[in-house]
């Protein structure tokens, strides 16, 4: 691959991950993996300056400013990023360069908090605005209402400078994060991957009551601008802020030599596991403000500071057990259970071992000392086994040839690493099937948590999906036994079950758990066949006439509807009043008929759901991802990586106004 091709590939990949991190608060890779890609791009652009373009990720500061949390505001002072370094040599080079340019410079070494950057503006001691970083240069989001309910944000200062702007990091302590995720689980909602994602999403959402409940915190790490008083140094500014009751970065250290700076960085790294919150590095900054002014800044970073990034966190633990779970299709998954360790802000004690081949490759057994890390700083994984610490009675773990739940024989699927339970009556498969059935993409029965399902299956109240709609006949027993809770909770769930009967039939089809039939396929199928009775009689040839339904999926559907047990369950569902009809949607022939359109960004008047419904009404297909099969991309403000991909593939990009013109609206 040529340098030009590699640069283009890195730009494309980084754009995608920048959008996931800054604009969706949902990163897919670790900071370290991102940093390494960015570093490679910087190095290539340094070697080939003729290939540097203004839209390169190396030439920008942050993400894009969004409107979810309020109106956009212009920055008084740019909220720049920091130059990242990854080695002792780079730290020493920075210190030595500063010593060449400045007269006996002082360096402040402090924690780099893993959160969301926010600036606070005060006039005469009164908080007038809180803003996020946004694009870092021009605009951020006004989040004043949410900032005011964060306990570390002071709304009034004891002293009253004419104007004061300070910048800090909004974060979530590990205890607060765990409490939020416990609540999310109880409510049957998606849990947050890590404290940083949770803090970012909380600060940007619209309800300040939610912000207050989630107990965000904030550290201030810089005075951006001040009028009406003066500070000679960064640490002097910190002392002033402390007197105002403002929470500044903990345990900073003032240094004068490269060795002192490195020792301070090392000490922070050694202590990071003992903190009540996450850090992702150490910041080294010049202390005197006059020195900072002399050095200035580039378009992206100040010349007077660097951020040392620690390598990905790994910890040793002892493997206590390997648990086996049985999925909806009978697939057996081994999970490692080990002594709890803290990684990336959460306590972890479990990691998937995937299958027997993975176990064999790791050469792992109970009692082993293992090295655990988090993939993408989210998913716990086992990196390796410390064989030199292996116990004398060690044996490699082998998945047994009987199901751990029902005792039936297990079989390894041909040409795969999957081992499955052969019994169709296995209760574990039933549990997973019911979890899928009541889930958000299927019948979407709010509050029907996994714990309830496991208990209802165990006690024999649920033996198939139709039994879900018979639970109301056991109301008094359920309340007496406290399976779902007291009367209020039980009635709430039973009401949600009754309401789900009115769902569009595609939700029922999704919930039946037919292999290769997910939400999108179910929608297309029900739109074509209109009701479950017609679908039940459809041949493989008729099924393949539906867009995106191939022969494999068609055979799975046909096999499902030729099974007498499945037909019996469907008949019961119909008898209980579960809707079997697809919603009638009037489709208008237009230029979009048969075309695939991807909606991205914030449109002037239409929400994404409204835009998708409009596309489908006029015969088009609204898709969530851009590919060569995409016909149009409907793009609004802050369109992000989908727009970039469309441009790279040469797919026509249209605005909301152009869409309406095409449809004659």
Q: Which residues are annotated as a binding site?
A: 31-35, 81-82, 110, 133, 169, 285, 309, 403, 406, 421, 426
Please give the Cα distance from 194 to 184 (Å, whole number).
13
**Long-range pairs for 182-191: beta carbons < 8 A, 24 or more residues apart:** 185/449, 186/449, 187/447, 188/446, 188/447, 188/448, 188/449
Cβ atoms of 602 and 611 closer than 8 Å: no
Question: Which among 11, 66, 112, 642 is annotated as catalytic?
Answer: 112
Residues placed in the known binding site for Zn(2+): 403, 406, 421, 426
Cβ atoms of 13 and 37 closer than 8 Å: yes
Place of tokens 């049985």: 326
598: three-class secondary structure by DSSP: strand
403: three-class secondary structure by DSSP: coil
Cβ atoms of 44 and 10 closer than 8 Å: yes
Please give the Cα distance from 475 to 484 (Å, whole number).
10
Cβ atoms of 178 and 284 closer than 8 Å: no
Please give the Cα distance from 539 to 558 (Å, whole number).
7
35: three-class secondary structure by DSSP: helix
Check the CA dihedral 568-570-571-577 and report its sign: positive
Q: Which two three-digit tokens encode residue 646?
A: 């469309």
Q: Which of 302, 304, 300, 308 is nearest to 45 (CA)?
A: 300
Buried b (16+ CB within 10 A) or exposed e, 499-537: ebeebbbbbbbbbbbbeebebbbbbbbbbbbeebeebbe
**Which residues 6+ apart lie within 8 Å of 448 measured at CB?**
188, 438, 493, 496, 497
Is 112 one of the annotated active-site residues of the chain? Answer: yes
Residues in the chain: 665
Q: Output the 3-class SS for 265-284.
A: HHHHHHHHHHCCCCEEEEEE
**Which residues 6+ apart lie within 8 Å of 664 measured at CB?**
590
Q: N- to C-terminal Cα distance for the chain? A: 48
Please give the Cα distance from 619 to 119 (Å, whole number).
47
Please give the Cα distance from 611 to 604 (Å, whole number).
11
Q: Which two three-digit tokens encode residue 294?
A: 């002399």
Give the DSSP letter string of 437-456. HHSTTTT--TT--HHHHHHH
Catalytic site positions: 112
């Amino acid at each position: 691959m040529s340098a030009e091709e590699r640069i283009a590939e890195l730009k494309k990949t980084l754009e995608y991950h920048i959008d996931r991190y800054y604009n969706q608060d949902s990163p897919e890779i670790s900071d370290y993996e991102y940093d390494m890609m960015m570093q490679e791009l910087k190095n290539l652009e340094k070697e080939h300056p003729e290939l540097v373009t203004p839209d390169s990720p190396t030439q920008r500061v942050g993400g894009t400013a969004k409107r979810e949390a309020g109106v956009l505001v212009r920055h008084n002072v740019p909220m720049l990023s920091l130059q990242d370094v990854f080695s002792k040599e780079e730290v020493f080079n920075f210190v030595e360069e500063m010593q060449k340019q400045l007269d006996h410079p002082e360096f402040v070494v402090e924690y780099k908090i893993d959160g969301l950057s926010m600036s606070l503006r005060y006039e005469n001691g009164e908080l007038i605005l809180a803003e996020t970083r946004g694009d870092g240069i021009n605009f951020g989001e006004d989040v004043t209402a949410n900032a005011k309910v964060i306990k570390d944000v002071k709304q009034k200062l004891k002293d009253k400078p004419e104007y004061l702007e300070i910048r800090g990091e909004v974060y979530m302590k590990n205890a607060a994060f765990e409490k939020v995720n416990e609540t999310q689980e109880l409510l049957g909602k998606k849990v947050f991957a890590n404290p940083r994602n949770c803090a970012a999403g909380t600060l940007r959402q619209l309800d300040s009551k939610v912000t207050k409940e989630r107990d965000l915190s904030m550290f201030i790490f810089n005075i951006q601008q001040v009028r009406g008083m003066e500070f000679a140094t960064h640490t002097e500014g910190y002392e002033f802020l402390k007197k105002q009751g403002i929470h500044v970065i903990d345990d900073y250290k003032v240094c004068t030599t490269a060795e002192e700076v490195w020792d301070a960085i090392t000490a922070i790294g050694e202590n990071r596991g003992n903190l009540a919150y996450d850090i992702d590095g150490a910041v080294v900054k010049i202390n005197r403000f006059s020195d900072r002014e002399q050095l200035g800044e580039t378009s992206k970073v100040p010349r007077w500071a660097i951020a040392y990034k620690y390598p990905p966190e790994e910890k040793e633990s002892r493997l206590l057990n390997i648990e086996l779970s049985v999925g909806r299709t009978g697939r057996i998954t081994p999970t490692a259970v080990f002594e709890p360790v803290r990684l990336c802000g959460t306590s972890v004690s479990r990691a998937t071992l995937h299958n027997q081949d993975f176990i064999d490759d790791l050469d792992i057994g109970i009692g082993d000392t293992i090295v655990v890390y988090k993939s993408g700083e989210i998913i716990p994984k086992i990196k390796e086994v410390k064989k030199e610490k292996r116990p004398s009675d060690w044996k490699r773990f082998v998945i047994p040839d009987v199901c751990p739940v029902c005792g039936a024989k297990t079989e390894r699927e041909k040409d795969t690493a999957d081992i499955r339970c052969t019994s169709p009556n296995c209760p574990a498969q039933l549990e997973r099937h019911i979890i899928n059935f009541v889930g958000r993409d299927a019948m979407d029965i709010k509050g029907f948590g996994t714990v309830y399902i496991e208990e209802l299956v165990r006690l024999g109240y649920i033996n198939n999906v139709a039994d879900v709609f018979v639970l109301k006949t056991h109301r008094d027993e359920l309340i007496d036994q406290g399976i779902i809770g007291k009367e209020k909770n039980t009635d709430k769930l039973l009401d949600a079950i009754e309401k789900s009967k009115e769902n569009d039939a595609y939700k029922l089809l999704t919930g039946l758990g037919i292999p290769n039939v997910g939400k999108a396929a179910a929608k297309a199928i029900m739109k074509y066949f209109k009701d479950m009775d017609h679908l039940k009689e459809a041949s493989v040839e008729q099924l393949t006439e539906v867009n995106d339904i191939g022969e494999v999926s068609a055979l799975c559907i046909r096999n499902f509807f030729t099974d007498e047990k499945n037909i019996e369950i469907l008949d019961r569902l119909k008898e209980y009043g579960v809707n079997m009809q697809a919603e009638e949607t009037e489709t208008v022939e237009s230029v979009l008929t048969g075309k695939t359109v991807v909606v991205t960004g914030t449109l002037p008047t239409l929400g994404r759901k409204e835009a998708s419904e409009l596309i489908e009404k006029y015969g088009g297909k609204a898709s969530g991802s851009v590919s060569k099969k995409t016909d149009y991309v409907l793009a609004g403000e802050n369109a992000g990586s989908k727009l970039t991909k469309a441009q790279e593939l040469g797919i026509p990009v249209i605005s909301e106004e152009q869409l309406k013109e095409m449809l004659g609206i």
